[in-house]
């Protein structure tokens, strides 16, 4: 390999907001057989918004008191909702209606200001939700399965609500304590505007969508002609297993953003992390797309092909 071609490639990449941490990208990308996309935060913006709360009046407050300790787009949206809820003051919310433009440590002020109850013994249930103890209650926030397993049954009226939210492509976040589900927070994510054009640039490869969600928001991707396979309801360690299976049969690219994606990004022949993602995802990746714009994917592949041609 001529160092000159590689450094030219690295410079061109940087100009497009693409940081290459492993030069093997110039060898692997042009040979890719499979491109695996994480859904949430990668094909979608990952900036979610609460659009509805059903069930107990305490649902949103309990959820927020637990999510204060979490770092997930779901947590951001629930905290955002309590910020607007109690005062109607949206001055701290970004104009695009996105998540509050504040540092995570600000959440402590927010909690005090909004009089959220104190939560202790916070736990993460990766790919499923979170839980914590509030007073005498163990409060669980997450997927219907998680709440059913950790707390208890979902009453018929809430189960019907969950099914309706699911059908409409929303994400139902169930909140439960004291032996049963108490409420449902509905969250809506948005697909990135450029997702279709981005996956079409890799349509010579097998295109796979991988997600922890199952429901209409995952199923929707099956209908697209450029998507070959959708794996829905995949637990976080399932992402790693799926990528390993593809790696065993061909050159596999993984595109992801979150902490949960880090092992899969590392296991892929080429890991591409979206820049809004966590440091762990970026560390595990060979390429980081800093501005989180999926159109950079086209640049990665075009650059890699062009650079390899110059190397050889
Ligand atoms: P994806 O694979 O699509 O990026 P994740 O693996 O991060 O999604 O999460 C899968 C599902 O787990 C989410 O759709 C949500 O239902 C649930 N979940 C994850 N984190 C949280 C949280 N902090 N609060 C509530 N639910 C959560
Ligand atoms: Mg994700």
pTM given for the model: 0.69
Q: pLDDT value at position 96?
A: 34
Interface predicted TM-score (ipTM): 0.93
Cβ of 39 closer than 6 Å to ligand 1, yes or no, is yes
Which ligand is nearest the CA of 187, by number? Answer: 1
| Active-site annotation holds for 38 | yes
User: Is residue 73 in contact with ligand 1, taking CB distance under 6 Å?
Assistant: no
| CATH fold for the domain made of 49-188 | Calcium-transporting ATPase, cytoplasmic domain N (3.40.1110)
Residue located nearest, by CA, to atom 12 of ligand 1: 128
Residue located nearest, by CA, to atom 27 of ligand 1 = 129
- CA-239 nearest atom, ligand 1: 2
The ranges assigned to domains in the chain are 3-45+191-311, 49-188
φ/ψ (deg, to 5) at 305: -65, -45
Q: Within the chain, which residues score under 70 in pLDDT?
A: 1-2, 84-114, 276-278
**CATH architecture designation of domain 3-45+191-311:** 3-Layer(aba) Sandwich (3.40)
Please check whether the two domains, 3-45+191-311 and 49-188, share a CATH topology.
Answer: no
Q: For ligand 1, is residue 74 a contact (CB within 6 Å)?
A: yes
213 in ligand 1 pocket by Cβ < 6 Å? Answer: yes
């Amino acid at each position: 390999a001529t160092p000159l071609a590689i450094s030219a490639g690295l410079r061109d990449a940087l100009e497009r907001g693409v940081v290459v941490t492993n030069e093997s990208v110039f060898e692997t990308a042009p040979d890719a057989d499979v491109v695996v996309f994480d859904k949430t935060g990668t094909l979608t913006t990952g900036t979610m918004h609460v659009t509805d709360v059903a069930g107990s009046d305490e649902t949103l407050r309990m959820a927020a008191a637990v999510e204060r300790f979490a770092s997930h787009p779901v947590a951001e949206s629930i905290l955002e909702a309590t910020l607007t809820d109690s005062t109607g003051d949206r001055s701290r919310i970004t104009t695009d209606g996105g998540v509050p433009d504040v540092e995570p440590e600000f959440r402590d002020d927010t909690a005090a200001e909004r009089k959220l109850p104190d939560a202790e013994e916070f736990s993460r249930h990766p790919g499923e939700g979170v839980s914590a103890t509030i007073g005498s209650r163990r409060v669980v926030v997450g997927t219907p399965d998680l709440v059913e397993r950790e707390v208890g049954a979902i009453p018929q009226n809430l189960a019907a609500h969950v099914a309706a939210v699911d059908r409409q492509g929303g994400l139902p976040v169930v909140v439960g304590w004291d032996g049963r589900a108490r409420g449902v927070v509905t969250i809506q994510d948005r697909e990135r505007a450029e997702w279709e054009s981005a996956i079409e640039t890799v349509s010579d490869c097998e295109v796979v969508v991988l997600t922890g969600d199952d429901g209409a928001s995952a199923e929707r991707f099956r209908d697209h002609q450029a998507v070959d396979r959708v794996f829905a309801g995949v637990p976080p360690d399932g992402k790693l297993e799926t990528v390993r299976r593809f790696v065993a049969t061909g050159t596999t690219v993984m595109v992801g953003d979150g902490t949960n994606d880090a092992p899969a990004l590392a296991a892929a022949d080429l890991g591409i992390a979206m820049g809004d993602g966590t440091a762990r995802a970026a560390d595990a990746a060979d390429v980081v797309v800093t501005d989180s714009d999926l159109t950079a994917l086209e640049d990665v592949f075009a650059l890699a092909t062009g650079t390899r041609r110059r190397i050889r």
